[in-house]
Amino acid sequence: MRQAISLQFFLGAMACLSAFCVNAEDASRYFTWTATYGTIYPLGVPQQGILINGQFPGPPLNCITNENIIVTVINKLDEPFLITWNGIQLRRMSWQDGVLGTNCPIPPNSNWTYNFQAKDQIGTFTYFPSTALHRAAGGFGAFNIEQRSIIPIPYPKPDGEFTLLVGDWYKASHQVLRKKLNSGVRLPLPDGLLINGVKAGYVFTGEPGRTYKFRVSNVGIATSINFRIQGHVLKLIEVEGCHTVQDTYESLDVHVGQSVTVLVTLRLSTKDYFIVASSRFTKPILTTTAILRYAGSNTKASGPLPIGPTYQLHWSMKQARTIRTNLTANAARPNPQGSYHYGTIPISRTVVLANVETKIKGALRYALNGISYVDPATPLKLADWFNIPGVFTLNSTKDRPTSSPPVLGVSVLGTTLHDFAEIIFQNNETTVQSWHLDGYSFYTVGYGGGQWTPDMRRRYNLADAVTRHTVQVYPKGWSAILVSLDNKGMWNLRSAIWSRRYLGQQLYIKVWNNEYSLYTEADIPPNALLCGKAAKH
């Protein structure tokens, strides 16, 4: 009997040990990135840009799911700097998120090493600077995660793949744009659109008859885009880590911060074809082109730019009343998500967030539920870990919009680990909004016009909604998401419209329970930078 007990104890201990050794069992990829200023010509005129290892856009970060990612960032700029990993969930590791609520910025002429695991994710993501208005100067790049060999993908293996980083661009430097915002001036319409850092002429070459995967991400700071390829259909296969029903479309809308992946088969005659990105909801419409070249082609693309029916990754109002969305979440993780019946889970908390443009003390600001966020000198995560008082107060932002005049503040919503939350983004303005949540994928279950009310839940898709990390909210409308708060930490919920985030349209969600366990949250990294009130610890 004693031997049996000893054996059970040994096996239990080994099981616990294996849980903590998972990182050691998976391969590691090491990167050293140096951030510098450099002269770039994206719109044909010289301007200062932010380069990563001398490149604009930055080098792609390609890995396989569950691999460990170790990135040493050397800051050669004249300002503090951070990089965040857009859509990477960083399970148990909000310490690695690279935003000012979790990390002290990397000082000039210094470096810091990120260390995290691409845990249980497959798909198309990005990285970019989170500090100041650096994202408007570059420093962004692709973050692509492939499946492990033991994980099947729900589509035939493509013959190759291309990454397209599409976004708006200003000729003015990020310092000039920042000065405008600080002086109370809204940013104007961008000067143009880019594909992979150039205005026109970028060439993607494929073999006739072959099928290619196109990874398309909107890395802009303000502008929704429509994406299409002349004469070709786009078979949608993935949205931000979620595999979808494989319907085909002539064009796709991709809002700020979002990513989609499509398959394209080169079925036409051997020549060049336009790849087109154009702005949505802007006057005038901005357009940029690249080239899809069939190998062996000596004929340039010609004819009118293609345009056709647009798939916007949401219901129309009429469709919302009559049908379910035809996208399903599955197979992004080793455990297929298609079998996850999220629609049967009771909602433990509902939060309605209303964005507003305002003035506080005579200065232009953007706010959520009456608070315009200001980064404290001490990162929230450090203040929470070291129990430092006076940095933030839980639930200073209310769960419903307020009629009180907006004020400056530090917004932190307190939630309990494993809460199942409903978040409504209410947009009372006349421009499209885009919202991102770090650390999570959420179920986008509904869209509508006017004011959201509880009756709107009857329109929700509670069967097979897409999971994603960034959701658009149309003018004078609302969007609803459901999210299982199962990733302990301090997580940034922000406007992906960067001028709005810079001037206060963001908050943090603290996901917490009172049990200390390395199974749910890692300890502070030994190399963590300490600043503000945490510098004394």
**Residue 14: inside a domain:** no
Quick one: pLDDT at residue 299?
79
Residues 134 and 166 in one domain: no
Dihedral over Cα of 425, 96, 93, 124: its sign: positive
Which CA distances in Å does 407 have to 304, 370, 428, 502? 50, 6, 19, 15
Residues 133 and 164 in one domain: no
Place of tokens 């690249």: 290
Which of 88, 84, 57 minimizes the C-alpha distance to 73? 84
Q: Rounded to a whole number, what is the distance in angstroms from the first to the last CA of the chain?
A: 49
Residues 185 and 133 in one domain: no
CB atoms within 10 A of CB 267: 12
**Residue 277: inside a domain:** yes
Residues 375 and 521 in one domain: yes
Residues 56 and 102 in one domain: yes
Domain stop point among 262, 288, 322: 322
Quick one: pLDDT at residue 317?
30
**Residue 431: inside a domain:** yes
Asked whether 513 and 379 are in contact (CB, 8 A), the reply is no
pLDDT by 10-residue block (mean), the chain, 537 residues: 38 40 73 98 97 98 97 98 98 98 98 96 97 97 93 90 98 97 95 97 97 98 98 96 91 98 97 97 96 88 56 36 31 43 94 97 96 98 97 94 95 97 97 98 96 97 92 98 97 98 98 94 98 94
**Residue 3: inside a domain:** no
Residues 93 and 224 in one domain: no
**Residue 483: inside a domain:** yes
Quick one: pLDDT at residue 26?
82
Domain stop point among 117, 146, 175: 146
Residues 347 and 317 in one domain: no
**Residue 331: inside a domain:** no
Which of 379, 355, 307, 322 minimizes the C-alpha distance to 105? 379
**Residue 437: inside a domain:** yes
CB atoms within 10 A of CB 466: 27
Q: Which domain holds residue 520?
A: 342-534
Residues 181 and 47 in one domain: no
Dihedral over Cα of 476, 440, 502, 497: its sign: negative
Quick one: pLDDT at residue 15?
38
The enclosing domain of 116 has a CATH number of 2.60.40.420
Residues 384 and 517 in one domain: yes
Residues 308 and 226 in one domain: yes
Quick one: pLDDT at residue 150?
82
Residues 165 and 124 in one domain: no
pLDDT tens-place string over residues 23-74:
557 899 999 999 999 999 999 999 999 999 999 999 999 999 999 999 999 9
Residues 308 and 398 in one domain: no
- The total of structural domains in the chain comes to 3
Quick one: pLDDT at residue 393?
94
Query: What six digits make up the tokens of 131?
Result: 């500090």
Q: Report the distance separating Cα 333 and Cα 324, nearest Å.
A: 23
**Residue 23: inside a domain:** no
Mode of pairing for the β-strands spanning 141-146 and 61-64: parallel
